[in-house]
Amino acid sequence: MFQKKYTLFSVLGFPVRLSPTWFIIAFLIAWSLARGLFPRYYQGLSLGTYWIMGVVGAIGLFACVLAHELGHSIVANRFGLRMRGITLFLFGGVSEMPDEAPTPKAEVAMALAGPMVSIALGTLLYFGGYVVDAIPVRGVVLWLAAINVILAAFNLVPGLPLDGGRVLRAGLWKWKGDILWATRVASRAGGLIGLALIGLGIANLLMGSLIGAVWWGILGLFLRGAAKMAYRQMLFRQMLSDTSVEYFADEETETVPSDISVGEFVHDYVYRSDHRFFIARRDGERLGCIDVERVKDVPDDRWEEEAIGQYAQDCSEANSIEAGEPAVTAWKRMQNRQADRLLVTNDGEAIGEIRLNDIYRYLRRRMEMEGQAASRPPAALSSNPLEHVRDSGH
């Protein structure tokens, strides 16, 4: 899956991003509508009209998936969960949410919000389609009405990462009070649904429908991967919530005299150390934190003129974390900042760094030792589009 995303615009404060994979699916949809579905149902229109209908249909689908995701996002916001944004990609939409629902009730409300928007939209478009007279407009609108109903129905299938899987998990969670177990069961259900879709793909292949085979096969594989991922994600959260940041903090943070130049700092400290945070000191007094990320932006021709001290800033909450916090908080903060490490502080005093790689190694080893399926945690959870997959399918 391509990692790159383009930020398009913001709706109600949620940034909307587009994965390049969406263009592939948008083209396939426009093409199959223009050359297959619309000519079959609405005969006698020109080829150009069919293509316009196809393109408008693909864009309309985009808007409908977006509306579905906004449904999730708005309800999540009501429960105090901050959404990072919505990404539309190959199989639909993803609401990126750094936190899990606080209660089973919240989970159900958040999960059902999307399908409810889709059903409402589908109903509205269905009646709207019969009001308009122009055949091309009616064709597109009625197709979108059907698509919304399919989108809702598919997402209500009870297996993670689908919305129905979230409802199932919430029910199990409420029943036994164990969210990890509930996630494991709902994730297995999702895996089985993926397997069923792969079976459907094979059946399509045997019946000679290559496109159907590829479509269902890929969707099934995707669902299986995302189901497994949903469980992993929960497992990692649990493992990191009973471990403190201090456990991961490495040795003493290095201190740097504030009057050396940026060039000296880079050559004598950055290139010769594994650290990315340093403490600037002047006459034994702490001046603040130096984040190598900030120093990167200093133009080369100013490296010799400027003293490193002027890049020292307060160890803010954004780039640091208290040693006593659970490691899961550090992990979330790194995800939010797209950072691979944080400065660890003890009562505001820097004591070391916590690194994403060390967290991954810990998770990997712990999974091995505890007999969880031994395989590597995904390399870049923070930017992985599957991270908080909740919806797929058309």
Sequence-distant (6+) residues with CB within 8 A of 252 are 351, 352
Sequence-distant (6+) residues with CB within 8 A of 134 are none
Closest C-alpha among 96, 86, 84, 37 to residue 65: 86
Going across the sheet that includes 277-282, the strands are: 255-257, 277-282, 285-291
| Beta strand ranges found along the chain (DSSP E) | 6-11, 14-18, 85-89, 92-96, 255-257, 277-282, 285-291, 320-322, 341-346, 349-355
| Beta strand ranges found along 39-130 (DSSP E) | 85-89, 92-96
Closer CB to Zn ion, 258 or 392, in the complex: 392
Task: Considering only the stretches 162-170, 171-179, 250-258, 318-326, report the one whose residues sit in contact with Zn ion under the rule CB under 5 A.
Answer: 162-170
Sequence-distant (6+) residues with CB within 8 A of 302 are 262
Residue 155 C-beta: closest distance to Zn ion, Å: 5
Decide: is 155 part of the binding site for Zn ion (CB under 5 A): yes
Residue 322 C-beta: closest distance to Zn ion, Å: 36
Closer CB to Zn ion, 76 or 339, in the complex: 76
Q: Which of residues 325-384 bind Zn ion (CB under 5 A)?
A: none
Q: Count the site residues for Zn ion by CB under 5 A.
A: 4
Task: Considering only the stretches 152-160, 164-172, 324-332, 348-356, report the one whose residues sit in contact with Zn ion under the rule CB under 5 A.
Answer: 152-160
Q: Which of residues 177-236 bind Zn ion (CB under 5 A)?
A: none
Closest C-alpha among 312, 306, 244 to residue 277: 312
Q: Which helix (H) or strand (E) holds 319?
A: none
Closer CB to Zn ion, 170 or 339, in the complex: 170
Nearest residue to the partner Zn ion, using Cβ: 114
- Range 216-219, long-range pairs (CB < 8 A, 24+ positions): 219/91, 219/392, 219/393
Contact status, residue 16 vs residue 113, Cβ threshold 8 Å? no
As a residue count, the chain comes to 394
Decide: is 163 part of the binding site for Zn ion (CB under 5 A): yes
Contact status, residue 196 vs residue 154, Cβ threshold 8 Å? no
Residue 95 C-beta: closest distance to Zn ion, Å: 8
Residue 152 C-beta: closest distance to Zn ion, Å: 9
- Binding map of Zn ion across residues 88-117, x = CB under 5 A, - = no contact: --------------------------x---
Closer CB to Zn ion, 162 or 182, in the complex: 162
- How many angstroms separate the CA atoms of 286 and 323, rounded? 19
The number of angstroms, rounded, from the C-alpha of 286 to the middle of its chain's C-alpha atoms is 38
Task: Considering only the stretches 148-156, 171-179, 197-205, 349-357, report the one whose residues sit in contact with Zn ion under the rule CB under 5 A.
Answer: 148-156
Task: Considering only the stretches 46-54, 158-166, 230-238, 243-251, report the one whose residues sit in contact with Zn ion under the rule CB under 5 A.
Answer: 158-166
- How many angstroms separate the CA atoms of 347 and 392, rounded? 45
Q: Which of residues 272-291 bind Zn ion (CB under 5 A)?
A: none
Helix, strand or coil, per DSSP, at residue 287: strand
Closer CB to Zn ion, 114 or 352, in the complex: 114
Closer CB to Zn ion, 155 or 233, in the complex: 155
Task: Considering only the stretches 21-29, 41-49, 314-322, 386-394, report the one whose residues sit in contact with Zn ion under the rule CB under 5 A.
Answer: 386-394
Closer CB to Zn ion, 111 or 240, in the complex: 111
Residue 65 C-beta: closest distance to Zn ion, Å: 9
Residue 391 C-beta: closest distance to Zn ion, Å: 4
Question: Among 107, 353, 387, 391, which residue sits at the site for Zn ion (rule: CB under 5 A)?
Answer: 391
Residue 111 C-beta: closest distance to Zn ion, Å: 7
Residue 103 C-beta: closest distance to Zn ion, Å: 19
Closer CB to Zn ion, 327 or 389, in the complex: 389
- Ordered DSSP codes for 139-182: HHHHHHHHHHHHHHHHHTSSSTTSHHHHHHHHHHHHHHS-HHHH
Closer CB to Zn ion, 54 or 165, in the complex: 165
Contact status, residue 220 vs residue 200, Cβ threshold 8 Å? yes
Decide: is 73 part of the binding site for Zn ion (CB under 5 A): no
Residue 114 C-beta: closest distance to Zn ion, Å: 3
Residue 76 C-beta: closest distance to Zn ion, Å: 11
Torsion sign (Cα): 174, 178, 179, 183: negative
Footprint on this chain of Zn ion (rule: CB under 5 A): 114, 155, 163, 391
